[in-house]
Amino acid sequence: MALEVGQVFAGYTILRVLGAGGMGHVYLAAHPRLPREDALKVLPAELTDDPQYRARFMREAELAAVLSHPHIVGIHDRGEYHSHLWISMEYVAGTDAGRLLREHCPAGMPVDEALSIITAVASALDYAHHRGLLHRDVKPANILLTGPDGGPGRVFLADFGIARRIDDAAGLTRTNMAVGTVAYASPEQLMGKPIDGRADQYSLACTAFQLLTGAPPYGGSNLAVVIGQHVSAAPPSIGAYHPELTGLDPVFTTALAKEPAKRFSSCGEFADQLSRHLDGASRLIQAGVDAPSAAPARQRRAARPGVLISTLLGLALLVAGGVFAGAKLTRDRNPVATAGPLSGIFRSDFGAITGPDTAPDPADAATLTATYGLRSVCRSTKCVATASRLSGAPVTAPTLVFDQVGGRWVAVVLGSDQCRGAAAEFWQVVTLQPRPDGTLIGEYTAISGGACADKRTVTFTRTGELDVNSLPDPAGQPPRLASPAEALRGRYQLTRTFNDGTPQRQSYLTVRTDCLRSGDRCISYFHGPTGGLPLVFSGGNWTVDVEDDSTCAASGDTSRVKITARYSLPQPAQDPIRLLTGHGHQQQTGSCAIDADFDETFKRAGD
């Protein structure tokens, strides 16, 4: 359905045509009531006539409308008007990654710029997956790159909320847009199988491959050949395009695995592994160094001018669900770092040790004191700080890295200590909340996988200046990556059902999940008045391995209890996690002896 300039559709006044594709036309339109211009997408009538499609469109658009993430184009409204489904969204200025590759980086982008884009999109996808929404069409054309008012560049993932027939393999060839999607579609999508967030991860890996090389892993004009390669061909070596990137081959082999179970547990883990496998040689690409001459000439990276991404003006194009006009982009992959709010010498006062469920007594005096040097930087709305212990009590690790998360400063590190007479790994977590008087208050917790747990109050008070150059530069820290495990939070009802007839056990516990900055490992500590249960997250699963003495309720005898269990991350992802299920084994001695397998559920009961 083509609309004319000045025509009113669903209350929106059409200002100009922005683009068209297989999924409909996109217009710049004036909002019916607000002084705002939106991107208005009008879908073809044949989609509206499909009752299954209409239902899914309404459902997914509603889910997408509540997404609030710095790297996702916002959805404003959706509806049906004159037998056409429509959706309005944020109007974004910039270019898209696909066009940038074609016009400026035909042999691939500088590694650091590509990694910045991949990390941002991975964060957006994991955020949506946690909330039960899949994208299904991740590709360079749906990644917007923009620099408002010529400022630092930003990354947006467009096209959330546009339901597709991509789960119908035949539908992939129905439109030109679908043809463009095949190069990035997962094997399970192409075969019409059920999909989850790992399908988006596969598409992100195809996109990442193209950002780094200029070509998708499987390409060509013959759809049947491309589909066959996705389904059965081994992932190509990125080192064949740029030998200096050969170290990334294992990462792409995992992310492009034919079986979803063999891929990474999240998009964030894929991005993190890319970052970890990049060696110093690969980063020479950022300076415009050509690949070694042994590489085929057609695959060699072209030399770049000093400013790779120049001013791009006058663009007006469709981005399959997100639309934008031209704007200046900077070459820097991150906004310029500026000095953050935490700087100087701080005295830290730690309170007495309490249990996780014990409320601190404000009258209690500090029992331990230490001095830390802090240095912080901020980029846009994200800040990171490094803290080095200069003197005093060794309560925490010698160095900490804090991230500003939800108005608090959070640091998570791994240390070692004794748990019931044996050496154990401890998760040390420091959370600090700024106060109007300039102090920061919070708590310090130390939790082991063996169920040892301590908590202390902590107060940081600034006492003086110091040479910040004597401290680690936080600007060199990699970005903090979100973990899907962080969705396990709140109050849950635990139900343990034994397979030998032992009476079922139930209890209500509270859990908070804390993750390393890499996002690949986390501790989820369930606790209540009667005790705690630590779940350690890694590789898409939580595990329990605890052993401790307990008391038999009926006889009062001492009982030795050992519990092992495993719980898988729900698919599709949920945020918050509503139901976590797993299986385990419990051995218990004494008059209350048990030696049985069990099934276990954690059902969310509230915040």
- Whether the pLDDT of residue 437 is over 90: the answer is no
Output the CA–CA distances (angstroms, integers) from residue 473 to 269, 375, 527, 579, in the order listed.
25, 7, 37, 41
Whether the predicted pLDDT of 413 surpasses 90: yes
Q: Which of 197, 110, 103, 94 is nearest to 149 (CA)?
A: 94
Q: Which CATH class is domain 338-475?
A: mainly beta
Q: Report the residue count for the chain.
A: 607
| Residue 38 annotated among the catalytic residues of the structure | no
pLDDT at residue 497 is higher than 80: yes
Mean of the pLDDT values across residues 120-135? 88
Comparing 356 with 214, the larger pLDDT belongs to 214
| pLDDT (mean) for 339-352 | 89
CATH number of 484-606: 2.40.128, 1.10.260, 1.10.3470, 1.20.1260? 2.40.128
Give the Cβ contact number of residue 361 at 10 Å.
11
Quick check: 295 pLDDT over 50?
no
* Residue 35, burial from CB neighbour count under 10 angstroms (0-12, 13-18, 19+): exposed
* C-alpha 154, offset from chain centre: 16
- Cα distances from 318 to residues 93, 199, 324, in angstroms, run 12, 24, 7
Mean pLDDT of the 401-418 span = 89
| The pLDDT value given to residue 289 | 34
Catalytic residue among 38, 112, 126, 137: 137
- The larger pLDDT score, comparing residue 284 to residue 600, is at 600
Taking only the tens place, the pLDDT of each residue in 232-248 is 999 999 988 888 888 89
pTM: 0.48
Please tell me if the domain spanning 338-475 has the same topology as the one spanning 484-606.
Answer: yes
What homologous superfamily is domain 95-327 in, according to CATH? Transferase(Phosphotransferase) domain 1 (1.10.510.10)
Domain coordinates in residue numbering, the chain: 8-89, 95-327, 338-475, 484-606
Q: Which of the four pLDDT bands, split at 50, 70 and 90, describes residue 369? A: very high
Question: Are 37 and 30 spatial neighbours (Cβ–Cβ below 8 Å)?
Answer: yes
* Percent over 90 (pLDDT), the chain: 39
Structure confidence at residue 387 (pLDDT): 94
Q: C-alpha distances in angstroms, 114 versus 121, 274, 292?
A: 11, 11, 20
The helix or strand, by DSSP H or E, that contains position 580, with its residue range, turns out to be: strand 579-588
Q: Tell me, what's the pLDDT at 173?
A: 38
Summarize the confidence of residues 316-335 as an average pLDDT. Answer: 33
Identify the pLDDT of residue 356: 73
Going through 357-500 in order, the beta strands assigned E by DSSP cover: 368-379, 382-392, 399-405, 408-419, 422-434, 440-448, 453-464, 490-498
pLDDT on residue 508? 93
Distances 372 to 119, 385, 429, 455, 592 between C-alpha atoms, Å: 31, 12, 16, 20, 49
8 Å CB contact between 419 and 534: no
**Range 437-451 average pLDDT:** 89
Over residues 103-118, the mean pLDDT reads: 90
Instruction: Tell me the C-alpha distance between 122 and 115, whole Å.
Output: 10
* Domain 8-89, CATH: 3.30.200.20
Amino acid 304 reads R
Q: How confident is the model at residue 595, as a pLDDT?
A: 94
Q: Which residues contact 359 (CB under 8 A, 6 or more apart)?
A: none
| Per-residue model confidence (pLDDT) at position 364 | 62
Q: Does 175 have pLDDT greater than 50?
A: no
